[in-house]
Amino acid sequence: MAENYDDLQASFGRCLRNGQFIAHFYDIFMASHPDIAPMFARTDFGKQHLALRRGISSAISHAAGSRLAEHTMVDMAKVHSHAGHAPVPPELYPYWVESLLTAVAEHDPQYTPALGARWRQAMNATTTFFAGHY
């Protein structure tokens, strides 16, 4: 049976309330590994922020077993595959997860270590899916 991640959707909503969560995540992420910042050299961050916002919500839904999120996840995996227009080597995904968890811990006023562990579980499901499509 699939995991219910309604608590993560609620946590994500709390993170988004102050409007700085996505930008702060990218600050953390780009500083986390020297190969990451150059990948965003020509990025329109207005569009990227919206894409990430939708992507995280879809990732949570996908980890919970939502069939509705599957198409979105396949599309995102293709974009980030070795043949996609924004390839991400699988060895960089742990930096993405750690950066996201750091940002969540800093922006969700109801964050607990148990909630962080659930975030990790769901996002690892997503990054494993993406790595499998690389």
Task: Summarize pLDDT for 105-132 with one digit per residue, the tens.
Answer: 999 999 999 999 999 999 999 999 888 8
The full set of domain ranges for the chain reads 6-132
Q: Is 2 a residue whose pLDDT tops 80?
A: no
Q: CA-based diameter of the chain, in Å?
A: 41
- Tell me the CATH number for domain 6-132: 1.10.490.10
The alpha-carbon radius of gyration of the chain (Å, integer) is: 14
Q: Is 61 a residue whose pLDDT tops 50?
A: yes
Phi, psi values for residue 34, rounded to 5°:
-65, -20
What's the pLDDT score for residue 33?
97
pTM: 0.91
Compute the distance between CA of residue 59 and CA of residue 126 in angstroms, rounded to an integer: 6
